[in-house]
Chains A and B, each alone.
Chain A
Amino acid sequence: MATNLPAPTEQDEDTDLILRQVLADVLGLSAERISELHADSGLFGDLPELDSMAVAGLLTELEDRLDIIIDDEDVDGEMLETFGGLLAFLAVKRSNG
């Protein structure tokens, strides 16, 4: 039952969903393709179309939709390397917010 789930889990699921939606909008992927992303799926570095302008748009959109602020010093290759890494970063940001 949803009511018995701890709040952070629900929020984490929501964060996962929003990140997938934003990546679908940025990468122009279908819902099917985007649902196949898993923790180890490569992002920045693996996807040549994710240049600095696309990443800037991605981060700004995530800030708007998740109501968080992403600082410049948080943005590095590691944070953006995989789907799982970015999701974990966003989950921490949201729970601290």
Chain B
Amino acid sequence: MLTGLWPSPVGGEELLLSFDEGRQRRLVVIPALFDEGNKLRHFTVEVMRRLHTTGIDSFLPDLPGTNESLAPLVEQTVTGWRQYLSAAVDHSRATHMLAIRAGAVIDPGHLPSVHYAAASGASQLRTLARAQAIAEKEAGAPVSREDLLVQAEAQGATLAGHDLGAQMVRELLEAEAPIPTSSVAQGDLGSGGLWLRAEPAHDPGQADRLAAMVLERLA
């Protein structure tokens, strides 16, 4: 596994985790978004390790504003993330994409792709707004999810610790994922999705099964 920086098309550098041995099949992995991205990080990298041992190169670029990125999340948009991923595809000479959960909505759609347990941007936003509403209620200042989302659409908002700009919110509510070449449902992996876990956790069996399915579908 190599970790390195690559020049972001929007300025600065971003972390790029790669398993690169110059092989024919080269996969850019689009991570899950926001809270789910944190919870699925270990799982995502473990799937890449398994793909590496079966002969597939893979690349996981940090989305600007997430993980190790120095770019402010509040300045990011769905359009910007799609452009960034297109540039990451060129940089890594990728042949395929693997999108995880709501990562599907920022799949630029140029390459054959597998979408794993795809989720909409709207559903991610509603869950973040719900977490924020629960936290506000506990703090004694109840506010409805609807009001939070209306405010977020108009002027941006911090939802469950994620500082989202108004354009990001509007694009997430409307964004549709491109139709993937193939999709993998959570039920195909046999147990509950790891993004549901209250504490980030890993399940080697699920990583084995997802890697095997990706391999089969890219073949």
Residue tally, chain A, CB below 8 Å to B: 24
Shortest Cβ distance from residue A19 to the other chain B in the assembled complex, whole angstroms: 13
**Distance A60 CA – B196 CA, assembled complex (angstroms):** 10
The answer to whether the Cβ of B126 comes within 8 Å of any Cβ in the partner chain is yes
Shortest Cβ distance from residue A74 to the other chain B in the assembled complex, whole angstroms: 11
**A72 in contact with B198 (CB, 8 Å):** no
Among A27, A60, A75, the residue within 8 A (CB) of B127 is: A60
Which residues of A have CB within 8 Å of B199? 28, 49
The answer to whether the Cβ of B73 comes within 8 Å of any Cβ in the partner chain is no
**A56 in contact with B137 (CB, 8 Å):** no
Shortest Cβ distance from residue A55 to the other chain B in the assembled complex, whole angstroms: 6
The answer to whether the Cβ of A32 comes within 8 Å of any Cβ in the partner chain is no
Which residues of A have CB within 8 Å of B126? 60
**Distance A56 CA – B130 CA, assembled complex (angstroms):** 6
A76-B137 CB under 8 A given contacts A52-B131, A60-B123: yes
A72-B193 CB under 8 A given contacts A52-B131, A52-B138, A60-B123: no
The answer to whether the Cβ of A12 comes within 8 Å of any Cβ in the partner chain is no
A21-B192 CB under 8 A given contacts A28-B199, A60-B126, A72-B145: yes
Interface 1/0 per residue, A48-64 and B, CB below 8 Å: 01111111111111000
**Distance A13 CA – B145 CA, assembled complex (angstroms):** 31
The answer to whether the Cβ of B217 comes within 8 Å of any Cβ in the partner chain is no
Q: Which chain A residues have a beta carbon within 8 Å of chain B's beta carbons? A: 21-22, 24-28, 47, 49-61, 72, 75-76
Q: Which chain B residues have a beta carbon within 8 Å of chain A's beta carbons? A: 35, 123, 126-128, 130-135, 137-138, 142, 144-145, 160, 191-193, 195-199, 201
